[in-house]
Structure 1
């Protein structure tokens, strides 16, 4: 599954800590004031020592990118994120960070920008609206602080992208958000269609103040927008139809995204997995148990990272399971392509 002869692209969740209470996030009790679900969050994190041990000059030279994001936490909540990034970029590794952007102070962001600029690394700031709407989904974050942090980062010359999930309550602000992204110096602007709505297109939740709200599916999709002469515009019906995601196809085998990208996933607990979807599904533990493989065998605090990646089940058992179509998560995510859709403008 993972090939040491090809460059690695690691997907790492540095921590399961986060300052936000996004209703659709698996860490959030969305009907209980968007509080943190302590049954799935342990407040753990990986630190500089873990990266110094495993990301040696040799492995770093064979690493194309390290992507910091994940299912439960925000990388900025990790105590030593900045030191980890400096270690990786000192060794020539390109980094990508996905964050809500509302933690830390501008001087911290400026130092981060200088480290990221060394290798052309990129920041994905997930800002789902403007002053009056971003906090409706990114509960507990503040738009003005995010923009202040972004400005300090971008001023260093480091690359940043604005990522925007479309909801009914913010779809009317897409054009203005795009204009602001350009004015602030963001290099990219990406619209995201979430797949987390149910069939009714509604998602109820409770704000921290006790007020009940409801997320609604938007009337516009990411494919409805085009970049035209430096401005964003609604696409014609023909353009939108051409760009729309292909229909769900029948299973003809699993086209594993992690295998294609040579991209192992590492959780905040140090567990090495096939991907974040399998790791968060509960199916992985039963798959390992079925082959008498204990979880401690796949923790980078117990064994060298490369040794784990070349061991079973990654060596052959996953490929056999795909052929047998025996993993529901793999079928769902990489057979039917049930993922968020994106349009980078």
Structure 2
């Protein structure tokens, strides 16, 4: 058997407890031509979701629990604080949570700071510019409100990081933003290359620090040949020993693989591949609402066929998203663990 992971090997969980968000970022999968993606189910985890999940993993095994995903901002989840409390009381894992930071009042941010006071905990504010630029990509965000919330969090003892996606329209403000982050009490600043080129009214397509796929795959002749021939070094399996649990309470190897199922574009090959996968195995094959975590990891797909597909040894095709995110030619992720992030202590 070529298991993706066994329960005893899990060291990191990435959770997306909600599909709700207050923003409409142009390149986010929840956005479709400036409006909310109509295919996206809007749902939240229930309080018992945390009990069901964490009761199946040995308490001291987990190193990190990350709140971040494809569609929702964790701060919008009505049961978030319950989840944080449960994790702190029942595991030894550090916490990391990513948010746009422009929701809730300052009292909420003072309260949530109590869960992010250890040196390894981080609440990450995703702020892509200053007052004049952040909302160009983070559509509907409110920069003054973000700073007010961040200050309430930091002044209450919470450990905060500022993540800054670099676009052509905001690259001139990186240094100023870093200085502001230090002044406000953020302990880290992360200037990130992005795989999200945008064509905004006030900006051009990304250049320079953006991720140039074409040059990286030229030696293969075409993108299709690269998908077929590239080896896979799975980041979540081989480097962080992680799993992703989405807002539907479905288990996926990683957030990148689970995300395309609700893409708005029916012609997107990644969506088609996920739809074919679910059709092949049937709905709920990876659902924690219907199966134990152990049985999901011992399902034929997670126990054998996914890993074999990377070597083209499975009747199921290698998924495009696997090669895009974990192929050999280029680095497509700007996550904190990978090379397109540049985290600096302040």
Q: Scaled by the length of structure 1, what TM-score is found?
A: 0.81
Secondary structure of 1:295's aligned partner: coil
Is the CA contact (8 Å cut-off) linking 1:166 and 1:192 kept in structure 2?
A: yes
Which residue of 300, 303, 326 corresponds with 2:288? 300
Residues 153 and 316 (structure 1), Cα distance of their counterparts in 2 relative to 1, 3 Å cut? same
The structural deviation recorded for 1:222 is: 8.3
The structural deviation recorded for 1:311 is: 2.7
Which residue of 292, 299, 304 corresponds with 1:316? 304
Does the alignment pair 1:17 with 2:20?
yes
Does the alignment pair 1:338 with 2:344?
no
Which residue of 183, 199, 203 corresponds with 1:203? 199
Name 2:120's counterpart in structure 1: 120
Secondary structure of 2:341's aligned partner: strand
Residues 119 and 84 (structure 1), Cα distance of their counterparts in 2 relative to 1, 3 Å cut? farther
Any residues of structure 2 matched to 1:279-290 within 5 Å, and which? 279=258, 280=260, 281-282=270-271, 283-290=273-280
Count of residue pairs the alignment pairs up: 305
Q: Scaled by the length of structure 2, what TM-score is found?
A: 0.81
Per-residue CA deviations over 1:115-139 (Å, capped at 9, x if unaligned) read: 2225832111100111111111111
The structural deviation recorded for 1:214 is: 4.7
The RMSD of aligned alpha carbons is 2.3
Moved more, 214-223 or 182-191: 214-223
Secondary structure of 2:231's aligned partner: coil
The whole-number CA distance in structure 1 between the counterparts of 2:41 and 2:80 is 18
Secondary structure of 1:315's aligned partner: helix
Show structure 1 runs of 4+ deviating over 4 A: 246-252
The whole-number CA distance in structure 1 between the counterparts of 2:308 and 2:191 is 36
Is the CA contact (8 Å cut-off) linking 1:129 and 1:173 kept in structure 2?
A: yes
Residues 118 and 83 (structure 1), Cα distance of their counterparts in 2 relative to 1, 3 Å cut? farther
Name 1:36's counterpart in structure 2: 36
The whole-number CA distance in structure 2 between the counterparts of 1:287 and 1:342 is 32
Is the CA contact (8 Å cut-off) linking 2:18 and 2:45 kept in structure 1?
A: yes
Name 1:66's counterpart in structure 2: 65
Any residues of structure 2 matched to 1:240-251 within 5 Å, and which? 247=216, 251=229
Is the CA contact (8 Å cut-off) linking 2:6 and 2:294 kept in structure 1?
A: no
Is the CA contact (8 Å cut-off) linking 1:127 and 1:162 kept in structure 2?
A: yes
The whole-number CA distance in structure 1 between the counterparts of 2:57 and 2:127 is 36
Per-residue CA deviations over 1:158-212 (Å, capped at 9, x if unaligned) read: 2211011112221111111000111111111111121222xxxx524xxxxxxxx
Residues 7 and 42 (structure 1), Cα distance of their counterparts in 2 relative to 1, 3 Å cut? closer
The structural deviation recorded for 1:217 is: 3.5
The structural deviation recorded for 1:43 is: 1.1
Residues 147 and 299 (structure 1), Cα distance of their counterparts in 2 relative to 1, 3 Å cut? same
Per-residue CA deviations over 1:221-261 (Å, capped at 9, x if unaligned) read: 389xxxxxxxxxxxxxxxxxxxxxx9558645211112112
Name 1:259's counterpart in structure 2: 237
Q: Which has the higher strand share?
A: 1
The structural deviation recorded for 1:295 is: 2.5
The whole-number CA distance in structure 2 between the counterparts of 1:176 and 1:222 is 20
The structural deviation recorded for 1:7 is: 4.0
Name 2:267's counterpart in structure 1: none
The structural deviation recorded for 1:309 is: 2.5
Name 1:132's counterpart in structure 2: 132
Secondary structure of 1:5's aligned partner: helix
Is the CA contact (8 Å cut-off) linking 2:195 and 2:210 kept in structure 1?
A: no
